[in-house]
Amino acid sequence: MSDKKPMHPDTKLVLGGRRKEWLRGMVNVPVSRTSTILFDSVEEIHAAYPPEDGRLSYGRNGTWTQWSLAEALTDLEPGAAGTRLFPSGSAAVSIALTSVLGPGDELLMVDSAYGPTRHFCDRELKRLGIATRYYDPVATPEELEAMISDKTRAIFMESPGSLTFEVQDVPAICAMAKKRGLTTLLDNTWATSFFFPAIAKGVDLAIVACTKYISGHSDLMMGAVTAAPSHWERLSRTGRSFGQYVSPDDAYLAARGLRTLGVRLRQHELGAVKVAHWLKDQPQVERIIHPAFADCPGHEFWRRDFLGSSGLFGFALKGAETQRATGWSRAWSYSALATAGADSKASPSRQSPIPSAPHPNVITAVRWCAFTSVSRIPTTSSRIWPRPLPFIQQAEASIRKKAAQKGRLKRVDGKPP
């Protein structure tokens, strides 16, 4: 799509990646499964290499099914040069880091990073001779700059932080990093480009686990990295060199989910804020950990930089309730390891070593369409957990009572979104 005519984000979601030559007369870009590409001449074979998006060469290099999704994701990031797809969010993080780091380099990694990201740093990067130094997620750009050494090559951010939800001052950190010649990477899965256009904020490599909100239906694994022009070639080359590939079937499903991302994220936001407010009033809950709440670390940056909040948030239980909450989370969901689908989930987190962590007894919760999809409300069946918490039973009763009601989302500070 052309950048000449401003387009509403919702329109971008619907039209992104739908080139006429890729549609081939259909409403959606069709699924094209292949390993081998046929050519009419040797000259055509030579012209197909080196591989690039939009030019058929070999199945691993993609077809219009994958290219259209990548282009649609790029369209959501003003100023981006391109997007590379990966088989999972963790793969996207790993390749993005590998593309900018080498033996002897040092990485500054936020201490609230997603668990698999931390494992990759502590195991694989260490094995490759790359050092990782962790920094406090509420560190200021000045404090971060004081940590930079002559070996530092990149700063990795995750905002909000995984499970603890600290919001970082991403634009200021990026400005400082550019002044020092460092690469900035951001795990933007929580907000996606729809609520936080990272490249426009100064990020060099914006990472999203498409498994979550992009897909939206808990039926595929995928990651994506969108790059600024300065980092596109290295990212693309590294991804191809590692043979990273996304199946056309998964690309098609992710593209289908992308079309409704705006509608779903707004409903996630509505449901999550309502549930968070209800939880805040419960005597067993010590505090809510939600970027849209004024007492969340970095709330001022969320309010300044983000266009909304998604469905994942945390809350801290008072000490005596922690053990019972383990059974409660089992009652809510058989699997709470993946978020952003059409089901409600809750899972206990382990105590965090982060100095700024608000509370060790943190529970994460995600709610989708909580007040309009009653069939998806979890039950406290005795088959799963014989003694449900009384306030969960109250919650179910309250949700069912409100199921037919319509409410308009307001920001927690009382101002309209």
Query: pLDDT band at residue 401, thresholds of 50, 70 and 90?
Result: low
pLDDT of residue 413: 45
- What confidence score (pLDDT) does residue 260 get? 94
Nearest to 362 by CA among 191, 163, 170, 187: 163
Mean pLDDT (whole number) for 345-360: 52
Q: What is the CA radius of gyration of the chain?
A: 22
Query: Structure pTM?
Result: 0.81
Which of 53, 111, 187, 343 is catalytic? The answer is 187
User: Among 166-170, 298-302, 354-358, 372-376, which stretch is predicted with the lowest mean pLDDT?
Assistant: 372-376
Q: 277: number of CA atoms within 13 Å, CB side?
A: 14
pLDDT at 388 > cutoff 60: no
* pLDDT 10s digits, 184-221: 999 999 999 999 999 999 999 999 999 999 998 989 99
Active-site residue flag, 60: yes
Q: Is the pLDDT of residue 348 over 80?
A: no
Q: Is the pLDDT of residue 395 over 80?
A: no
- Cβ neighbours of 118 (radius 10 Å): 17
CATH class of 261-402: alpha beta
- Given this model, what pLDDT does residue 23 score? 87
User: Is residue 373 left, alpha or beta, with left meaning phi > 0 and alpha meaning psi from -120 to 50?
Assistant: beta
The lowest-confidence range among 23-37, 100-114, 244-258 is 23-37
**pLDDT of 303 above 60:** yes
- Structure tokens belonging to residue 11: 């329109």
Residue 371 identity (one-letter amino acid): F
Q: Calculate mean pLDDT across residues 56-67.
A: 86
Whether the link from the prior residue into 417 is cis, omega within 30° of 0, is: no
If you average pLDDT over residues 221-237, what whole number do you get?
97
Neighbours of 107 (CB within 10 A): 23
What percent of the chain has pLDDT above 90? 56
CA distance 181 to 28: 42
The strand pairing partners of 157, in sequence order, are 186
The predicted structure's pLDDT at residue 147: 97
Residues 6+ apart with CB under 8 A from 387: 327
Residue 278: how many CA atoms within 13 Å on its side-chain side? 19
Average pLDDT for 2-29 = 84
In the chain, the amino acid numbered 332 is W
pLDDT at site 163? 85
Please determine, for residue 2, whether its predicted confidence score (pLDDT) is greater than 90.
no
Q: Which of 60, 179, 180, 304 is catalytic?
A: 60
Give the confidence band of 333 by pLDDT, cuts at 50, 70, 90: very low
How far apart CA 63 and CA 54 sit, in angstroms, is 7
Q: How confident is the model at residue 232 (pLDDT cuts 50, 70, 90)?
A: very high
- What pLDDT does residue 406 have? 47
pLDDT at residue 341 is higher than 90: no
Strands 345-348 and 362-366, bridge-based pairing: antiparallel
pLDDT(249) > 50: yes
pLDDT category at 373 given cuts 50, 70, 90 is very low
Answer for the pair 81, 236: CB distance below 8 angstroms, yes or no.
no
Average pLDDT over residues 303-330: 75
Whether the predicted pLDDT of 327 surpasses 80? no
Instruction: Please give the average per-residue pLDDT across 250-255, as a whole number.
Output: 96
Q: What is the pLDDT of residues 278-292, one digit of tens each?
A: 999 988 888 899 999
DSSP 146-167: HH--TTEEEEEEESSPTTT-PP
Calculate mean pLDDT across residues 51-58: 82
- State mean pLDDT over 133-155: 97
Closest by Cα among 353, 287, 295, 344 to 314: 287
Residue 414 above 50 pLDDT?
no
pLDDT, mean of residues 390-408: 50
Mean pLDDT of 17-45: 88
Predicted local distance difference test score (pLDDT) of residue 409: 40
Residue of 12, 18, 212, 259 with catalytic role: 212
Delimit the domains of the chain by residue range: 9-259, 261-402
Given a cut of 90, is residue 83 above it in pLDDT? yes
Whether 402 sits among the annotated catalytic residues: the reply is no
Torsion of CA 340, 341, 343, 347, to 10 degrees: -40
Give pLDDT, residue 225.
Answer: 98
Summarize the confidence of residues 378-401 as an average pLDDT: 41
What CATH number belongs to 9-259? 3.40.640.10
| Statement: residue 24 has pLDDT above 60 | yes
Average pLDDT for residues 138-156, to the nearest whole number?
Answer: 97
187 is catalytic: yes
Amino acid found at 50: P
Catalytic residue among 12, 18, 114, 305: 114
What tokens appear for 138 in the block? 């509420």
